Amino acid sequence: MTTPSEPPQQPPVPPAQPPFGAPQGQPSYGPPQPGAPQYGAPQYAAPQPMNPADEKLWATLVHVGGIFFSFLPALIGYLVLKDRGPFVRAHTATALNFQLTLLIAYLVGTITSILIIGFFILIAAGILAIVFSIIAAVKANRGEWYSYPLTIKFLS
């Protein structure tokens, strides 16, 4: 029993927690202290260059992927891998140029298919896509530079 002169005991109050996401040990208001880590815009590191074996592998896959998926592997490869090394950049740019040229040839062949010549254009473009992509993949796998013939140069 408590006596009337003693105040009732209060449960201990936990220390104040910073808001969710605020760094521990630093107030969530006001400017950051000098030397404290900065939390704001993300800092991105430059992409790490690939070793030559990885560059050859990705260049080969981009060329072979063009046979099955048209320009998509070359476009994705160019956007993702262009800063990872000069060899893979050159091969993805070359493959993308060739695939875009083929896309134009397929479009012209489809439009002119109401004439007989359109079917020949489609057949020729399909054969060239397979043959030149295999040649480019073999060259890339050997570590050699390659440029497709009959290609419009969209990217350098």
Whole-number pLDDT of residue 28: 53
Whole-number pLDDT of residue 150: 92
Q: Assess if residue 58 is contained within a domain.
A: yes
Q: Assess if residue 128 is contained within a domain.
A: yes
Q: Assess if residue 67 is contained within a domain.
A: yes
The residue type at 97? N
Half-sphere exposure of 113 (CA within 13 A, CB side): 9
Number of domains in the chain: 1
* Phi–psi pair at 32, nearest 5 degrees: -65, 150
CA angle at 124 for the pair 121 and 128, rounded to the nearest 5° = 135
Whole-number pLDDT of residue 78: 97
Tokens of 115: 């004439």
10 Å Cβ neighbour count for 37? 8
Whole-number pLDDT of residue 2: 55
Q: Assess if residue 40 is contained within a domain.
A: no
List the chain residues with pLDDT less than 70.
1-8, 11-43
Q: Assess if residue 92 is contained within a domain.
A: yes
- DSSP assignment of 19-44: PTTSPTTS-SSSSPPTTSPP-SSPPP
Residue 67 domain boundaries: 52-142
Q: Assess if residue 135 is contained within a domain.
A: yes
For the stretch 45-54, pLDDT in tens is: 778 889 999 9
Q: Assess if residue 16 is contained within a domain.
A: no
Tokens of 113: 């298919």
Q: Assess if residue 19 is contained within a domain.
A: no
For the stretch 12-33, pLDDT in tens is: 666 555 555 555 555 555 566 6
The pTM of this model reads: 0.71
- DSSP assignment of 97-134: HHHHHHHHHHHHHHHGGGSTHHHHHHHHHHHHHHHHHH
